[in-house]
Amino acid sequence: MSSAKDIRTTFLEYFASHGHEIVSSSPLVPQNDPTLMFTNAGMVQFKNLFTGLETTGFNRAVTSQKCVRAGGKHNDLENVGYTARHHTFFEMLGNFSFGDYFKDMAIELAWNLITKEYGLPKDRLLVTVYHEDDEAANLWKKIAGIGDDRIIRIATSDNFWAMGDTGPCGPCSEIFFDHGDHIPGGPPGSPDEDGDRFIEIWNLVFMQFEQTPEERLSLPSPSIDTGMGLERIAAVLQGKHDNYDIDMMRALVEASADVSNTDPDGEKSVSHRVVADHLRATSFLIADGVLPSNEGRGYVLRRIMRRAMRHLHQLGCADPVMYRLVPSLVAEMGGHYPELGRAQPLITETLKLEETRFKETLGRGLRLLNEEIEGKEPGGVLDGATAFKLYDTYGFPLDLTQDFMRGYGWGVDTDAFDSAMAAQKAAARKAWSGSGDSATEAIWLDLGDRLG
């Protein structure tokens, strides 16, 4: 069995042997893109290279990029723990070409890595291409020997990537692994594509166009951007159907079970999965300089931390324990990410302090929730006023309340919650006398609305 560490190393060394510069992961706080809350893909640090705003000493690169998807457009928080492949933190393996090679070599490099280096059986692989991209379809036939029956043409935006409304864009080609007919689900593009049988493992983006406000132009030097989730490919190579069963994640699940003295599987498994994922996200964010607060990135961090801490409380942990899991994380990932080890004292102290503070109100808030559902059947909806009271008085982010109620088959009236939040902000506006500088006041009030 290949460990996740070995899979990462093989990826980096394979592309290095083909002329790619191994570039370290960029921080989770984007340094060159104010539109992003967190780095969520490998190409983020190379955005200015793709757009031509910057140049560098190499035209091929390979990375293992740490990513967070929580908050804003890319938000997987509510599904983490309940599904096989959702994470707030994950690693994106990627190779990049800045005006050097294009589709033919990108396809050849990808195919040789997964079939020769990783040893995946060719008959378990299929690919998608953008429906107009005959060139990519023909290259898959020529290079990989894939027949038409395993090349699926997709007409939606799933197979056409764009950096934004304007800028570089181009068709994608995704590689899927077939877990077998004993798993429910259909191939991409079919009515059953959301099943778990066919899993996307690698996305190859062919940046060949420039979108202007008026038209789409061909780029003089097309580029390549690819992304493969380490957790996904590790699950495939380790014969697992669930990302949380791979060696790296399983070690953290078992660490959560050890500190709570509970079974890592069975009815407690969701909580252990939440803790394992959120431990990674919170620790890496703290290592990159984000600290818990009530706004912006710091508030997203606090939401993730408190969701994990609520699950640890549910596991029976009366005292703060999340900080005790940090050594297990450093043991698993500190070798490749030395910033984890350097920041270990800060991560430990931050988690301990935050959990100690939250413990003071967590119990009271959970008692309020239990009173609301006591003696009632599943399928109810918690009123928005109570959800807002939990937020305002007990420090419960809305998604934490939703997560708790989900465990009992309940929903939350989010419209009423939003109304209560808007009413509080309106009252705050009315009560604030301000400085007399209406323009400045408008800016800060608008920021307050957007950051919460």
pLDDT recorded at residue 196: 86
Bridge partners, residue 129, by sequence: 153, 173
Classified by CATH at the fold level, domain 4-237 comes out as BirA Bifunctional Protein; domain 2 (3.30.930)
For the chain, the structural domain boundaries read 4-237, 260-325+341-374, 376-452
pLDDT recorded at residue 164: 74
The number of angstroms, rounded, from the C-alpha of 442 to the middle of its chain's C-alpha atoms is 33
Rounded Cα gap, residues 71 and 82, in angstroms: 18
pTM for the predicted model, two decimal places? 0.87
Pair of tokens at residue 360: 């003071």
Rounded Cα gap, residues 147 and 141, in angstroms: 6
pLDDT per position as a tens digit, 378-430? 888 999 999 999 888 888 888 889 888 888 889 999 999 999 888 887 877 77
Four-CA torsion 160, 161, 165, 167, nearest 10 degrees: -120
Contact present, 97 and 60 (Cβ < 8 Å): yes
Contact present, 236 and 177 (Cβ < 8 Å): yes
Query: Are β-strands 167-178 and 125-130 bridged in parallel, bridged antiparallel, or unpaired?
Result: antiparallel
pLDDT recorded at residue 76: 67
List the chain residues with pLDDT less than 50. 433-445, 447-452
Contact present, 316 and 261 (Cβ < 8 Å): yes
pLDDT recorded at residue 79: 79
